[in-house]
Structures are given as structure tokens and as C-alpha cells.
Amino acid sequence: MSVALQMHSFRKPARALAAGTLLLLAASPLAFAADPAPASGGPTALVEDVTDGVDGVQPMDYLAAGRKVTLKAGQTLTLSYLESCVNETITGGSVTVGARESAVQGGNIDRHTLPCDGGKLLLASNEAGKAGVTVFRSAPIALPGMKAPPPKPDLTLFKTHPVLVLPAPGPVAIERLDVQGVASVTVNVPGTALDTAKTGAGLEPGGLYKISAGQKSFTVKIDEKATAGGGPALGRLIRF
């Protein structure tokens, strides 16, 4: 038998084995199954608003991917996704929280995108409520004879009036970093959340601030095109 014939005789079983494997995969119910639903993990969505009486959900709650919420007819749930900056108002139906948007069965959904600092909001949400954690970045060290550059922001806000969320009532100190001679301001938060759009003057577009509550601080940049007023907390949320 020639070498060519010997090689051919070894290839034939290999082809048969490969064909059998393909047939087994095609017959398997898992071969073309959809990706599984995301498992519960870290927070992906912020509850902006919810109808009274929806079980287990309150405004300013974080929800993890995989969380399910059931809405009765006429009940609404407004979510903002931290990574994708997607804002949704859902009316009725069964809601499954995803990584970047919700899956809704039997209900209606109004979905649009808001300006927000998505990735940094997601990171900040993982640190929210942890005692003794300081997120504020120390200022870069300047060489002799040079002015130190400003610290890099932890968050960028797209409204001049932040929403402040604290683990307990208390003062929040606001210090301007990019302009000298501006006195710091203290805002008293009587509950665990305060929308500064309802309490007075906002921050300056383009400004850089250190905003502190207890032992935790953020360096916050106000976008140059930031506008005043309220609206969704996404894009103006500072959560300690």
C-alpha cells in the first residue's frame, strides 16, 4: 500500500468523527440556545420614580441585572441605566432589569438616552454607602516653579443642580477647586436625598468642585454646557 493510500485511510475515520460531532451538536437543544439572562450582580439601573405600592422598589434604589419587577395596570416605573445612560418609563407588565436596558413583557415602554458620565456612575454606585471610603483624588504634585494642575474629576454632571444621596442625614460641603477666593458652601440634607434644584442656586457650568459628606468626597466637574433645573437624577447624581 502506498503512503498516499495509507494517509487516505486515516483521514476517512476523522471525517466520519467530525460529521458525527456536527450531527450531535445540531440535535442538542443547547446548540443554538439564546444567551442566558444576566445573573444578579452589581447595580446597573437607578430607580428615578415608581408608583406607590410596587413591591420592594423605592426611588433612588439601585437594581441589579436580572432583577424582576411586576407592575399592575396603570403602575409606572422609571429607570435610568448607569452604563448606557438610557432612561425608561415603563407602564404595566413584567420588567426584567438588564445591563444596559430593560426587557418588558405585557407593558409599554418609553425609552430615550440622557447625557451622563456612564462608566464613572457605574463605578461610583459600587462604592455607594461604604463607610470610610474616600473617592476624592489627591491633587497632582507640581514641579518647583510650576502651578499644580487641577485634580481629575471622579464624575461629570450635566446639570448645574446635583441630586445628593446620603446614607444618613447630614451636611454636604461644596468647595470650588478651579477658582481661588470662592468661599465653600455647606448644604444640610435633612433626609437621605436632596434635589438641589428645589433649594436654590446651582453650581457653575465648567466649574470643578470637591463635594464632601462625612469621610467621603468626590471631585466633580460641571459640564460646560450644563443647564439649570431638575429632571432625571441620571446625569446629576452624587451618591455617598
Tens-binned pLDDT, residue by residue, of the chain (240 aa): 443 434 333 344 444 434 443 333 333 332 222 233 444 468 999 999 999 999 999 999 999 999 999 999 999 999 999 999 999 999 999 999 999 999 999 999 999 999 998 777 766 666 655 544 444 444 454 445 556 678 899 999 999 999 999 999 999 999 999 999 999 999 999 999 999 999 878 999 999 999 999 999 999 999 999 999 899 999 999 998
Whether the CA torsion 188, 212, 214, 127 is positive or negative: it is positive
**From CA 172, how far away is CA 188, in angstroms rounded?**
6
Compute φ and ψ for 131, nearest 5 degrees.
-70, 145
Reading the block at residue 176, the C-alpha cell is 470650588
Q: How far from chain centre, in Å, is Cα 86?
A: 10
Element (H, E) at 195: strand 193-195
CB 209 within 8 A of CB 175: yes
| DSSP letter assigned to residue 223 | E
The pLDDT, as a whole number, for residue 168 is 94
Query: What is the C-alpha to C-alpha distance for residues 103 and 96, in angstroms, rounded to an integer?
Result: 5
Span 21-69, pLDDT tens digits:
333 333 333 222 223 344 446 899 999 999 999 999 999 999 999 999 9
pLDDT of residue 41: 62
For residue 84, how many other CB atoms are within 10 A of its CB? 18
Q: Can you tell me whether residue 221 is helix, strand or coil?
A: strand
